Structure 1
Amino acid sequence: MATIDWPTVPLKDGVLVPILGFGTGTAWYKDDPNDPFNPELVLVLKAALAKGLIHLDAADSYGTEREVGVAIKESGIPRDKLFVTTKVLEGWRDAPKALKESLERLQLDYVDLNCLRGHRLTKAAGLTRAIGVSNFQRHHLEAILKTCTEPPALNQLEYHPYLQRSDNYVPWMQQKGIQVSSFKTLAPVTVAPGGPLDAVLSSIAVKHATTPDAVLLSWAIGKTVVPITTTSKGERMDEYLSAVALKLSPQEQEDITKVGLERHFRWWGKAFFKPDDRS
């Protein structure tokens, strides 16, 4: 396994989250969690782990927890050297039961981060080191903060230069002690190419002898946001890892932020938002 001095983001309870995560949604997502076991995903995950990508992201709704568990077991990497996130989405009505079922599929005694609703009991049972939520809007969090005994430590949501979230939402969460993790961080080059950022990203990538993908990941990291991304290709894994060491200048960060605001694009949950809603 490659040894990487991982930068981390601290959660309010002291848990340290590696700044880059390797996801198992999107391309690996199963329409039915009971679909056949995918040995190809196990090989991809083992390759990612071997390269040092120790932060793995899963969810009960992805249908990939079994593959994550097998990959971890076959990698031979000690459990305490890994950071494993899962999300209880399908089983939110009984979160403790759902998390226990996830742990069975993962072949683990605990996860490092569990993102769901109704999360207090799962942490009390010692099944996760930290609790979080996923795809929560500001009004959701405001309601939770008024009543909860333990606030969520992290919110995982879509975040990229074309969806920077309006009303200062990301800085507001960080000020409240809620860290932010992002999915679809590479949207400007993967699912929304041809926009105003193309030339900016290309120019910055050339300057740093890297790729637009690495520049986007570095931009998110520079915002103290933990991006989650995935690939089946080893060279792309190397590209993602290079983003951890890539340091953009303040001007480059600002250029991406400013130009990104010229376009609005949302990949997830379009049915829930009006076309011009940037929240």
Structure 2
Amino acid sequence: MANIDWSTMPLKGGVLIPILVFGTGTAWFKDDPNGPFNPELVQVLKSALAKGFIHLDAADSYGTEREVGVTIKESGIPRDKLFVTTKVLEGWRNVPRALKESLERLQLDYVDLYLLHNPYVIPTTEDIQSAWRGLEAVKASGLARAIGVSNFQCYHLEPVPETCTEPPALNQLEYHPYLQRSDNYVAWMQEKGIQVSSFKTLAPVTVAPGGPLDAVLLSIAAKHARTPAAVLLSWAIGNNVIPISKTSKDGRMDEYISAVTVKLLPQEQEESRS
């Protein structure tokens, strides 16, 4: 495991979350927690840990928790040196049972962050509030150090504090220069102490090349001797957003990790907004 001085951001309750995440969705998505085991993913995750990543992101709906668990067990890295996030989707009606099953697949006694994955599978606001009480219960029992949500829009998030005792510590959602959220939503969450984590942060270079940011990103990347992808990750971090990166290539892992050592100038941060 490479010795990298990871910066962190504080979550509610004092838990510190590393500012860059290695994700296990998309390419390895199985849509079945107990589907065929993927040894290729284990090798990729071992490479990520060897490169220095310490924060792994999973979900019961990705079907990748077993691979994450095997990776951690075989890595030999002490549990307290890693940060593990997972999420609950269909199990929202009985969150304690869902987390127990996730922990069995992960071969862990606890997760550092547990998220309610998607409000769109939960029928009503009252059901969201009920599911959230389940997350409060697993935090109180010590099975999750911090709890939060994913894919929540403002109208999903606003009713949660009405009945909760432990407000969400984080919201994980799509965020990049081409999707910065309307009505200052990100700033609104941050003002309330809800950290923001982003997926698809690299969309301008992965799924939307040829856009107005291409030349800007290349120019900034050249000034910092980095790549456009590293600039985008650094841009998110500069906005106090925790980006999730995913790749199976060792070179890309190095590229993404290099983002944590880049600090964009205020002008560059603004230029990267598109």
C-alpha displacement of 1:198: 0.8
C-alpha displacement of 1:10: 0.2
Deviations 1:125-171 (A, max 9, x none): 21010000000011111111222111000000000001000000001
C-alpha displacement of 1:90: 2.3
**Contact between 2:12 and 2:146, CA under 8 Å: does it hold in 1?**
no
The secondary structure found in structure 1 opposite 2:162 is helix
Aligned to 1:263: none
Mean alpha-carbon deviation: is it higher for 91-100 or for 141-150? 141-150
The within-5 A match list for 1:51-62 is 51-62=51-62
Aligned to 1:78: 78
Aligned to 1:150: 166
Distance 2:48 2:90 in 1: 27
- Kindly provide the amino acid, as one letter, of the partner of residue 242 in structure 1: S
Percent of counterpart pairs with the same letter?
Answer: 80
C-alpha displacement of 1:193: 1.3
Distance 1:146 1:171 in 2: 21
1:161 and 2:177 are equivalent in the alignment: yes
**Contact between 2:33 and 2:65, CA under 8 Å: does it hold in 1?**
no
Aligned to 2:15: 15
C-alpha displacement of 1:92: 1.0
The answer for unaligned runs of 5 or more in structure 1 is 260-279
Distance 2:11 2:142 in 1: 17
Mean alpha-carbon deviation: is it higher for 139-148 or for 244-253? 139-148
RMSD, matched Cα: 0.8
TM-score normalized by the length of structure 2: 0.93
The secondary structure found in structure 1 opposite 2:231 is helix
The within-5 A match list for 1:1-279 is 1-116=1-116, 117-118=131-132, 119-257=135-273, 259=274
The secondary structure found in structure 2 opposite 1:167 is coil
Aligned to 1:267: none
C-alpha displacement of 1:34: 2.7
Mean alpha-carbon deviation: is it higher for 137-146 or for 231-240? 137-146
Mean alpha-carbon deviation: is it higher for 190-199 or for 30-39? 30-39
Mean alpha-carbon deviation: is it higher for 147-156 or for 214-223? 147-156
Distance 1:31 1:122 in 2: 24
Distance 2:256 2:95 in 1: 33
Distance 1:22 1:180 in 2: 16
The secondary structure found in structure 2 opposite 1:9 is strand
Distance 1:51 1:69 in 2: 18
C-alpha displacement of 1:35: 2.1
Deviations 1:38-95 (A, max 9, x none): 0000000011011110000000000000000000000000000000000011211111
C-alpha displacement of 1:113: 0.2
C-alpha displacement of 1:124: 1.4
The answer for unaligned runs of 5 or more in structure 2 is 117-130
Instruction: Kindly indicate which of the two structures has a greater share of residues assigned to helix.
Output: 2
How many residue pairs end up in the alignment? 258
Deviations 1:223-261 (A, max 9, x none): 01000111001110000110000111100000111x2xx
